[in-house]
Structure 1
């Protein structure tokens, strides 16, 4: 069961809030995925994280991640 199925099952399909991007790289990947989802960029140009984000996230979720301000964010999140 993927997270979209789980949300539908729990009745949480509407008004779901994602976390802000944790790094500049994550914010950039979300922006690329959002561009492809809207049809501004060919999906064939996506790679790695942006490709999987485009497939698995809604336009609204991508907007929230892509709109995160980069100031003060690390380029890449430290591994925990």
Structure 2
């Protein structure tokens, strides 16, 4: 599933780095921490690799 905002894509990238062992899990906060716990490495990779072009900084709730 593609990311809906730049912030979501960035959080997925941080969670993916932790899944791969490139970053400490204890360094994760907020959305990236919950993504780490609830998503597979493949799902995180798909979301993190979404192009940022044309994406809003944050997704709207509507």
Scaled by the length of structure 2, what TM-score is found?
A: 0.97
When the two chains are superposed, the root-mean-square deviation of aligned CA atoms in Å is 0.5
Structure with greater Cα Rg: 1
Deviating beyond 2 angstroms after TM superposition, the runs of 4 or more aligned structure 1 residues are none
Please point out which of 25, 33, 53 is paired with 1:71: 53
Aligned-residue offset at 1:30: 0.2
Aligned-residue offset at 1:29: 0.2
Partners of 1:59 and 1:76 in 2: CA distance: 23
Structure 1: any 5+ residue segments left out of the alignment? 1-18
Q: Secondary structure at the match of 1:78?
A: coil
Aligned-residue offset at 1:32: 0.1
Scaled by the length of structure 1, what TM-score is found?
A: 0.76
Task: Verify: 1:28 aligned to 2:14, yes or no.
Answer: no
Please show how residues 47-66 of structure 1 align to structure 2 within 5 Å. 47-66=29-48
Report how many residues are paired: 62
